[in-house]
Structure 1
Amino acid sequence: MSKIEYPTLVPELRFPEFVEQDGWKPKILEEVCDLQAGKFVKAANIKSEKDDSLYPCYGGNGLRGFTESFTHNGNYSLIGRQGALCGNINFVSGKFHATEHAVVVEPKEGVDNSWLYYELCRLNLNRFATGQAQPGLSVDNLYRVDTHVPLVEKEQQKIADCLVSIDGLITTNTKKSDSLKLHKKGLIQKLFPEEGKRVPELRFSDFEGDWKPASIAKMGMVVTGSTPSTSHTEYYGGEHLFVSPADISENRFIETTKSTLTTEGIRKSRVVQSGSVLFVCIGSTIGKTAQVKYDCATNQQINAITAFPGYDDDFLYYLLSFHSLTISELAGKQAVPIINKATFSKVVLMVPEEKEQKRIADILSSIDELISALNKKIEALKAHKKGLVQRIFPYLERVSE
């Protein structure tokens, strides 16, 4: 009978000082680290908000909340062992509580702690989960997972240092992006009047006078989308964007969509002009708002608003974003929330003169551009890290003899 084994492997990309070293040695996790399940804590003792007297509490799906007790103090990788996200890896520092649904990982002698974290992330441990209704990972099964380890700990450290530096850049830029989002949120609340008021708290010095009430129908042409027949395959797979609520994220502009239309398909749709504002009016994501850069089409869950003369498209995006929650409440409580076109069109909001609209839109757009640039940098760093991991860790192959 053929015997299956793992060979010694060499990664595609290696730091120069380790090129002459032997390949990475095959091991199982039991030889690399000690694994220990955490300690049970009552759900009632897990708080949703942190204060100085509480410690992070990690369970099967990552951070659960905060507790008065802690089980560990130091730097550890944690493996989620229960739930839909079992196999997820977190690296935790300081005092924390690990529940029985998390496995605490401690490296053995000769294994770098940070390198081990990246190796665990790479192993895709979720594939070893058992059970359907409630997938889980047992410590015994985890111990038998195959891995490869550089024999020289300094090589492990060099790999870890490289990846830690990239993660540091990702974290730094993420914090900058989050800070800008928070600043923008606070600024919007001051640049638009509170309910029942006719002027905002913060205003540019060269503008005065009350803002005027105007319905959405007065501000722009409202178009409800439609879906070309899916039985006609010739309508789909072209170069024209076809927007559904799933395509609307926290980003302002829609630049890609899951489905696209051919020229023939978009002729069967209601074309939305570039610059128009999109507002989800049906379904669980009612109130989501976006803006389009290019002519496109939307499905029937979305109303598009194209500004009339005297009204600025960009301002309308921020205006509807600011009032999205209030407008969403018009749907009421029903199985499938819906705001029909007539009701949506009659919504009255306070609006300034066009010059003030443009000034408000310009300052908020400048912040959005900074956020967008940071988000693109973050995505580029993540892609670079992913590609690097594929090259500085060896590809695991099984060979028979």
Structure 2
Amino acid sequence: MKERLKAPELRFDGFTDDWEERKLLDNVEKVLDYRGKSPAKFGMEWGTEGYLVLSALNVKNGYIDKSVEAKYGDHELFDRWMGNNRLEKGDVVFTTEAPLGNVAQVPDNNGYILNQRAVAFKSLQETDDNFFAQLLRSPIVQNTLKASSSGGTAKGIGMKEFAKLNARVPETHEEQRKIGLFFKQLDDTIVLHQRKLDLLKEQKKGYLQKMFPKNGSKIPELRFAEFADDWEERKLGEVATFLNGRAYKQDELLDSGKYKVLRVGNFYTNDSWYYSNMELGDKYYVDKGDLVYTWSATFGPHIWSGEKVIYHYHIWKVELSKFLDRNFTLQLLEADKARLLSSTNGSTMIHVTKGDMESKIVSIPNIDEQKQIGSFFKQLDNTITLHQRKLDLLKEQKKGFLQKMFI
């Protein structure tokens, strides 16, 4: 068996001693674990104000997300739930399932209630809080805990898995402090970029609501100053054509070939590709700049920015008449998607058909106003994409540092 390294690949100047191997929980003074509790056991219920409840819903990597729909407890519930074990600034919170492995620190001493699917660690005085938080994010700890998790889809871990885990740590508090501070500053930068990105997305959502007519109105709430004419209602199928992609048999999808086969997952999280050598009619290909619409599993419009590909059956290619601008139509379909999502409250699987889309009544302005709107949103989308790339790069950099600065 390969011997584990006794010092990390990358470390601060002035530190050369081997790291010490010890039980992970030997770095901890106290573990707070309230899994299994509920307000009903106290004859009480959650509220909409008071002490914020920390759970797997709002404990993200590096921060507590106060923007998500949160639960709160009043002062009586807080006292009965937490007792004398109050969460303090710097304490480390770890999500134990769904998702497993998110790590954040308590940001202040305002008081929090620790709820389901999360535990908290109070570090020993000689263990730096920031360092311990990053130790829990290190590949060796994350991979070991995930390998020992149980529970199928919603994998989870208990304290016995933590108790078994060994970890190497610097013997000196000063090295811990420097490592912890380095990652704390990196996390703060990541959170700042995440908030900027979230704000831009919220701004776009607001513009989509205000720059397209709603509730039977013939004009939008917000528009460019030089335009005043009413928008015209048309059936979408009168000004656009939705073309079905080709349905492939599994043995027709190759590991390599002349053309990539574009599937729904390639727009989101799936970087793997199938290929085809088939020569098909023009309507079965998507070229750079074409407008497409995914309608299975996840749905919504996209402008394809890659090379020429064959598109799969679960994607429509949208061919536009002279009455529609491409960038405007992208946002028109985005606004329609937002309305569909808000009408279901996220509780229903949305299914859209080609017939639904073609019979949909849409409001459209003259082509000049369309181009103005399309250009405005294109610039906003480009800014969002730029911030997303910066954020992804920072996360990748942090991932690399975790691999090199922990063992």
What residue ranges of structure 2 are gaps of 5+ in the alignment? 65-69
Alpha carbons of structure 1 residues 67 and 318: separation in structure 2 relative to 1, 3 Å: same
Of 103, 123, 132 in structure 2, the residue corresponding to residue 89 of structure 1 is: 103
Q: Give the aligned residue type for 2:392.
A: E
Cα offset, 1:353, TM superposition: 1.1
Contact residue 79 and residue 103 of structure 1 kept, 8 A: yes
Name the residue aligned to 1:73. 87
Aligned residue for 1:103? 119
Please state if 1:346 is matched with 2:359: yes
- The 1:59–1:355 alpha-carbon spacing in structure 2 relative to 1, beyond 3 Å, is closer
Secondary structure of the structure 2 residue equivalent to 1:114: helix
TM-score by length of 1: 0.82
- CA deviations over 1:115-170 (Å, ceiling 9, x no partner): 00110121112323356587543324312311001011111111111111111111
* TM-score in terms of structure 2 length: 0.81
For structure 1, which segment, 89-98 or 38-47, has the greater mean C-alpha deviation from structure 2 after superposition?
Answer: 38-47
Q: Cα offset for 1:102?
A: 3.1
Question: Shift in Å at residue 360 of structure 1?
Answer: 0.3
Instruction: Could you tell me which runs of 5 or more consecutive residues in structure 1 were left unpaired when the two chains were aligned.
Output: 395-401
1:277 paired to 2:298: no
Partner of 1:26: 21
Are 2:10 and 1:13 equivalent residues in the alignment? Answer: yes
Q: Within 1, Cα distance between the matches of 2:57 and 2:196?
A: 29
Q: Output one character per residue of 1:294-315: Cα deviation in whole Å (capped at 9) or x when no partner.
A: 4433322222212222321111
CA contact (8 A) 1:6 1:26 kept: no
Q: Using the alignment, how far apart are the partners of 1:37 and 1:106 within structure 2?
A: 8
Question: Residues 164 and 329 (structure 1 numbering): CA distance in 2 closer, same or farther, change over 3 Å?
Answer: closer
TM-superposed deviation, 1:325: 5.1
Q: Match for 1:42: what amino acid?
A: S
Q: Secondary structure at the match of 1:261?
A: strand
In 2, Cα distance between the equivalents of 1:115 and 1:14? Answer: 13
2:161 is paired with a residue whose SS is: helix
Q: Is the 8 A contact 1:37 1:100 kept in 2?
A: no
Q: Distance in 2 between matches of 1:229 and 1:97?
A: 52
* Offset at residue 356 of structure 1 (A): 0.6
- Give matches, 1:1-400, under 5 Å: 9-18=6-15, 21-39=16-34, 40-42=36-38, 47=46, 50-51=48-49, 53-58=50-55, 62=59, 65-68=71-74, 69-70=77-78, 71=82, 72-74=86-88, 75-81=90-96, 83-94=97-108, 95-99=111-115, 101-122=117-138, 123-124=141-142, 125-130=145-150, 135-234=155-254, 236-238=255-257, 240-249=259-268, 257-264=271-278, 270-281=284-295, 283-285=296-298, 287-294=299-306, 295-324=308-337, 338-394=351-407
Secondary structure of the corresponding residue to residue 29 of structure 2: strand
Q: Deviations over 1:335-355 (max 9, x none)?
A: 986443234222221111111
Deviation at 1:224, TM superposition (A): 1.2
Q: Distance in 2 between matches of 1:330 and 1:266?
A: 39
Are the equivalent residues in 2 in contact too, given 1:115–1:159 (CA < 8 A)?
Answer: yes
Q: What whole-Å deviation, never above 9, does each CA across 1:86-133 have from its counterpart, x for those lacking one?
A: 444332233211236533212123211110011012111232335658
Shift of 1:180: 1.1
Higher mean alpha-carbon deviation, 305-314 vs 212-221, is at 212-221
Give the count of matched residue pairs. 375
The alpha-carbon distance between structure 1 residues 57 and 209, as it changes in their structure 2 partners (threshold 3 A), is: same
Separation in 1, partners of 2:94, 2:232: 56
CA contact (8 A) 2:56 2:98 kept: no
- Which one-letter code corresponds to 1:182 in the other structure? E
For the residue of structure 1 that corresponds to 2:243, the secondary structure is: strand
Shift of 1:217: 2.4
1:33 Cα deviation from its structure 2 partner: 1.2
| Cα distance change on mapping 1:146 and 1:310 into 2, 3 Å | same
Q: CA RMSD in A?
A: 3.3
